[in-house]
Structure 1
Amino acid sequence: MTMNIYDSVIPQNPANILIVDDSIDGRLLVEILLQDAGYNVQTAESGQVALQMVESSPPDLIILDLMMPKMSGYEVIKILRCQPTIPFIPVLIMTACGYLEEREQAQIDVDGIIYKPIDLDLLLSQVEGLLKKTKKPRNEYCLGSYG
């Protein structure tokens, strides 16, 4: 059996990834990159739409913009982490903020951060790493500052 260059890049059993960003340009950029890498990708333009999609068909990974109108990424994470009907899903946040302090990162219980403008190689590397991680149990997060 002959292998071609794409066999090592394209996942054999592609993960389902949900991209949540109110910016169509932001969604499209990440969507095209991940589809080209062989992943199944869905997009949502708001936190509300994303939560409905997660309830009906939980993805393997969520890439989430923090700053969105109506429902911020922070609120989406709180609901994801505290809703017992939603399985644990790794969350990679996208932010245009220069940096998030460690304390702020711990409060929002995310699995990774990517800063805008997005470094596409770093994004792919983080996605691959998060998809390999084992799922962690729910913790005291829901009883903490958001609960």
Structure 2
Amino acid sequence: MIHHQEYSVLVVDDVADNLLLLQLVLEMEGYRVELADSGAEALSKIKESPPDLVLLDVMMPEMNGLEVTQCLRKSRELSLLPIVLITADRDIDVDQALAVGANDVINKPVDMDDLLARVGNWCPAT
């Protein structure tokens, strides 16, 4: 296992099984993981204690991942926070995600090796 304890990742998804799976995979790699099941909860947690990276589901009720990303990009203190969008919507492409301020996009179903590689781009091993 590569140790990443100094890196925190906030995983945001409205589906509990998705949250738990991503938490398990990331914690097995040594990341500190926080969970949020809505856009509003994510914004609250980020403002309270910004993580090193946000893995953010796009399709959520009330406030979707694109809207959360836009809110974060409007905040001077959080404007550089790395955000990776996760989506099952094939109509969301990298260009659209980048236009709202995301740093990357991962399509569902999530390939865990790809996920870990992309997380590692933002939270490299020490």
Structure-1-length-normalised TM-score: 0.78
Q: 1:61 to 1:99 in 2, by over 3 A?
A: same
Q: Structure 2 counterpart of 1:81, which letter? A: R
Separation in 1, partners of 2:93, 2:54: 21
1:107 to partner: Cα distance = 1.8
Counterpart position of 2:63: 71
Identity %: 35
Counterpart position of 2:40: 48
Tell which structure's C-alpha radius of gyration is larger.
Answer: 1
1:85 to partner: Cα distance = 3.9
Q: Which has the higher contact order (CA 8 A, sep 6+)?
A: 2
- Equivalent pairs, count: 124
Counterpart position of 1:31: 23
1:52-93 deviations in Å (ceiling 9; x for gaps): 101110000000000100001111001100012435210011
1:98 to partner: Cα distance = 2.2
Counterpart position of 2:3: 10
Secondary structure at the residue paired with 2:123?
A: helix
Counterpart position of 2:118: 126
Separation in 1, partners of 2:94, 2:8: 29
Unaligned runs of 5+ in 1: 1-5, 133-147
Partner of residue 62 from structure 1, selected from 33, 37, 54: 54
Separation in 2, partners of 1:103, 1:87: 18
Structure-2-length-normalised TM-score: 0.91
